[in-house]
Amino acid sequence: MGSLLDVVLGALIGVVAGLASGLAGIGGGVIMVPAMVFVLDFPQHLAQGTSLLAIVFTSAAGTVVNRRNSNVDVRLALTIGAIGALAAFAAARLANLVDADALRQMFGGFILLAGVRMLVQTLRGETPAKE
Amino acid sequence: MTTASRTDSGFDFRLVVIAVAGGALSGFFGVGGGILLVPMILLFLAPARKVAHATSLGAIIALSFAGMVGFAMSDRVDWVVGVTLGAGGVIGGALGAQLMDKLSARTLRLIFAVVLVVAGVRMLF
């Protein structure tokens, strides 16, 4: 479990990830997982599991605000959530069978693609609308 | 709920594909999955951007919880750091909403995109 320094750094990483998603429209996970790996020296699997716990809180808080502004299609969110949760659980179990180095490399490929896509979109001026 | 994309028999198969793809991405990589869900919802299910974002985030509560359980079963969740990360994220998100008009989203997106590319390359090699 985390030391005091981990906790303080964790909170800071959370703030940066929150700012990133609030201001730039990118998800917190792609920021939090590499930050935990490089700053907190977490193994890849622990970083991913911990990221998911953090996202439970951030997505719930964001949804409270979005509900107030009535932007949530509740039926659609519940349907995607219910079906998607089964897939998410199965995928998480699968990820836990994958070797840490291989998982880190796959994750690296994933965020590299996400970063390149974001660069291209932003340079083209296709900045997604902010909430 | 959009009705245009739905057949009379009631069920939209694309919805299942989108949910499974989003869930799989979220659980496998430990992210929310919005990066996939938002554009797919936008394209096939709800054409309004704000609704697509908000609906995706609502679904992510369930996806992230289910994925987190999957990692916790292998003892790969740091509960203390996860809670502080989450608290920081909520504060950062609220701060971001306040600062939105004062900072350039374009510049921030460029900075974060470069961060992702650099981190991605480091993790790959």
Assign 3-state DSSP to chain A and report helix, strand, coil percentages, each to 5: 80, 0, 20
Q: Mutate which of B90, B110, B112, B121 to disrupt the A interface (most A C-beta within 10 Å)? A: B112
Contacting residues of B for A105, CB less than 8 Å apart: 123-124
Interchain proximity A55–B86, CB inside 8 Å? yes
Interchain proximity A32–B84, CB inside 8 Å? no
Helix (H, G, I), strand (E, B) or coil at A97: coil
- pLDDT tens track for A21-66: 877 777 789 999 999 999 999 999 999 999 999 999 999 999 998 8
CA A122 to chain centre: 20
Contacting residues of A for B114, CB less than 8 Å apart: 115, 119
Interchain proximity A29–B31, CB inside 8 Å? yes
Determine the pLDDT at residue A120.
92
Interchain proximity B96–A21, CB inside 8 Å? yes
Confidence check on the interface: ipTM exceeds 0.90, yes or no: yes
Distance CA(B118)–CA(B84), nearest Å, equals 26
Interchain proximity B116–A80, CB inside 8 Å? no
- pLDDT tens track for B9-58: 567 889 999 999 999 999 999 999 999 999 999 999 888 888 999 999 99
B1 pLDDT band (50/70/90 cuts)? Answer: very low
Interchain proximity B83–A90, CB inside 8 Å? no
Q: Point out the least confidently predicted range of A97-111, B42-56, B58-72.
A: B42-56
Interchain proximity A18–B96, CB inside 8 Å? yes
Q: Point out the least confidently predicted range of A14-28, A35-49, A68-82, A102-116.
A: A14-28
Determine the pLDDT at residue B93.
87
Determine the pLDDT at residue B10.
60
| Identity of the residue in B18, B73, B123 whose CB atom sits nearest the CB atom of A80 | B18
Q: Is A5 on the interface with B (CB under 8 A)?
A: no
Q: B86, A81 in Cβ contact below 8 A?
A: no
- pLDDT tens track for B77-109: 999 999 999 999 999 988 887 777 677 778 878
Q: Mean pLDDT over residues A2-6, rounded?
A: 81
Q: A41, B69 in Cβ contact below 8 A?
A: no
Q: What's this model's pTM, rounded to 2 decimal places?
A: 0.90
Domain extent listing, chain B: 13-124
| Identity of the residue in B67, B78, B105 whose CB atom sits nearest the CB atom of A89 | B67
| Paired tokens of B41 | 């919802």
